[in-house]
Amino acid sequence: MSEQEEQSFFKKEISRREMLKIAGIGGAGIIIGASALPGVLNALGANPFVDDDPSAENKVNFYGKHQSGIATKDPEHVYFVSLNCTARSKAELKEMFKVWTNQSAELMNGRLVEPYSSNTLMPPADTGEATGLDASHLTLTFGVGPSLFEKKELGLQHMKPKELKDLPHFPKDQLDPDYVGGDISIQACADDPQVAFHAVRNLVRSARGKVTMRWSQTGFNSYEMKGKRKQTPRNLFAFKDGTGNPDVDNVKEMNKHVWVQAGDSKSWLSGGTYMAVRRIQMHLETWDRTALSAQEATFGRHRDSGAPLGKKGEMDDMGLDRVENGSPVIPVNSHVYLAKQVKDRILRRSFSYSDGVDRKTGTFDAGLLFISFQKHPKQFINIQNSFGRVDKLNEYITHRGSALFACFPGVKKGSYLGAELFV
């Protein structure tokens, strides 16, 4: 058997407990968890981290300069979770991210987090609900919140970027404490909602004792097709959401607006980004009683085409200074007009959500899981402040959740998630 075949054998065909037996560890009744695997593999001369499998169907690469799920196009389903960190030391936290590195690579390869053991008297290594499904373009994006750096037992206070702070209170905010903040975040996006859920479930399961769930939110997007090209998705108000985003294929634009550059912040964040998360309730019943002309004036765009008012193409220039019959064509209190009053741009990755019925009002509990990526939190803050109390859209929405996370740069092969944070 060649060296390459041996490594494949160890990675794919042997369970972790069987691996430990081969290595002569655990035979005396000592149970060693998944976090011990990298050391065992190193002792056997194998790469301790799982590689991307180019033969996997519908696969997005885990390794790269930037994390997946940020510039990745056209996400359909999301399972977002905010976690509390209960790790007792920096070493424990570091080991957790190493385990998550292997498991994330396996999940994004469309595989189980670990092969099943032949020992049926033990719980299966993987929860199994994604068995038989392919990778489904799964992406996993990890971030850390400001509160993580306040935990003295972790010893990371000196690594906290000065700009990583809880988002300020904005006008009209009515935040629910159950949907605010968090020490660590995981964003799982996939073509199949069960694949996204499976990924988060197994990552949280493997980190038991080091994290607990704080809050979570599922979401979805659907895309109109023109030819073979997906169009901008619509939110539950039926308006296109994401028009005017930076071009994710344009390196210059992404470096300018999204990716943290060397010298911008702490060195461990270079190549990463900031994730702003807002859970926004949309008052659908009120909106549905609003005339179409008033709906379009609220956004400053035509509903069906997404074009600026008075124009035909979604990507046409807004022309904010246009006047007709003595009045601005784009109302000055419209959502898009106010957003354009600041020069900052962000990369929007929003998802609709529907969580059943609001028992207090008997209305839909539905809205928008707003996620944006930017190289500095002030970009989002400046835009949100520009809406203030005058944004016409405020009549139809209420901000219920809020969080900010610093997302790691991408993972180099042979390294692990957040490695730069632990140097």
- Of 111, 113, 11, 102, nearest to 58 (Cα)? 111
Question: 94-131 burial, b for 16+ CB within 10 Å, e for fewer?
Answer: bbbbbbbbbbbbbbbbbbbbbbebeeeeeeebbeeebe
pTM of the model: 0.89
Q: How many angstroms separate the CA atoms of 377 and 336, rounded? A: 20
Helix (H, G, I), strand (E, B), or coil: what is residue 23? coil
**pLDDT tens digits, residue range 231-255?**
999 999 999 999 989 999 999 999 9
Q: What's the rounded mean pLDDT across residues 292-315?
A: 97
Q: Where are the alpha helices (DSSP H) in 167-231?
A: 193-206
**pLDDT tens digits, residue range 353-387?**
999 998 888 999 999 999 999 999 999 999 999 99
Q: How many angstroms separate the CA atoms of 195 and 230, rounded? A: 21
Q: How many angstroms separate the CA atoms of 405 and 392, rounded? A: 29
| pLDDT surpasses 90 at 25 | no
350-358: long-range contacts, CB 8 A cutoff, minimum separation 24: 350/219, 350/235, 350/241, 350/242, 351/75, 351/77, 351/78, 351/219, 351/220, 351/221, 352/219, 352/220, 352/221, 352/235, 352/236, 353/217, 353/218, 353/219, 353/220, 353/279, 354/236
In this prediction, residue 423 carries a pLDDT of 86
Distances, alpha carbon 13 to alpha carbons 40, 103, 117, 282, in Å = 15, 15, 10, 49
| pLDDT surpasses 80 at 314 | yes
Q: What's the rounded mean pLDDT across residues 183-202?
A: 98
| pLDDT surpasses 90 at 161 | yes
Q: What is the mean pLDDT of the chain?
A: 91
CB neighbours of 44 closer than 8 A, spacing ≥ 6?
10, 23
